[in-house]
Chains A and B, each alone.
Chain A
Amino acid sequence: GENVEQHPSTLSVQEGDSAVIKCTYSDSASNYFPWYKQELGKRPQLIIDIRSNVGEKKDQRIAVTLNKTAKHFSLHITETQPEDSAVYFCAASIAGSARQLTFGSGTQLTVLP
């Protein structure tokens, strides 16, 4: 089955700096890669996703890049703000299939004011 590894497990940045979280996946057939944000005590929420027919996707301060050859994808947050502090989970799956989302272990991002 799919295996997703996520690094780092914790990340502290100064407000205004950028944050990068990286994930690798094992199954080359995976083609759908979402990122979820989970604030303390709350539900995970999708913040951005990418499918393997594109290499990069941006949404305001958030971007995701995908390298299919290397089987890794990354979340980039620019101009970080204290409200970006949360746990971020990457995941991988095969769109349209019965394959379920396999989540990474999560990254606790802390943005220091």
Chain B
Amino acid sequence: DSGVTQTPKHLITATGQRVTLRCSPRSGDLSVYWYQQSLDQGLQFLIQYYNGEERAKGNILERFSAQQFPDLHSELNLSSLELGDSALYFCASSVEAGAGEQFFGPGTRLTVL
């Protein structure tokens, strides 16, 4: 157990819908990262927040957005869902703002039908 929690574990929805994925970082970690892992694909970095502020942005679609709240938990919002958005979404956290060990949560498996 990495100490990072994600909810829900599974999510099944329809095209065009909107969903919210939630992540709670390890106690004391200020950075939260979101990754997308499609079937048989690697880890694609989406976005990072550090202490409530957006720190870095990767290949995140405009239909996706995220935020980090004062209690440091983070939410990833996915809207106008398409079949291709079906993937495993991981949240990770770290103490540092920059590169260093990242602790991954168990992931949320999103299925868009």
Contacts and interface: CB of A to CB of B under 8 A. Distances in A.
B61 interface: no
Nearest to B91: A43
Contacts of A93: 98-99
Contacts, number: 58
B105 A96 contact: no
A89 to B, nearest CB: 6
A107 B58 CA distance: 23
B42 A99 contact: no
Given A101-B45, A103-B43, A43 B98 contact: no
- For the residues of A in contact with B, the DSSP-based class is loop
Interface string A34-56: 10000000111110010000000
A93 B97 CA distance: 12
B112 to A, nearest CB: 19
Given A100-B45, A100-B56, A105-B42, A45 B98 contact: no
A104 B42 CA distance: 7
Interface string A68-103: 000000000000000000000100011111111111
B2 A45 contact: yes
Interface string A5-16: 000000000000
7 contacts: A43-B104, A43-B107, A44-B90, A45-B104, A46-B101, A46-B102, A95-B98
Interface of B: 2, 33, 41-45, 48, 55-56, 58, 90, 96-107
The 5 closest A-B pairs by CB, nearest first: A93-B99, A43-B104, A96-B98, A32-B99, A103-B43
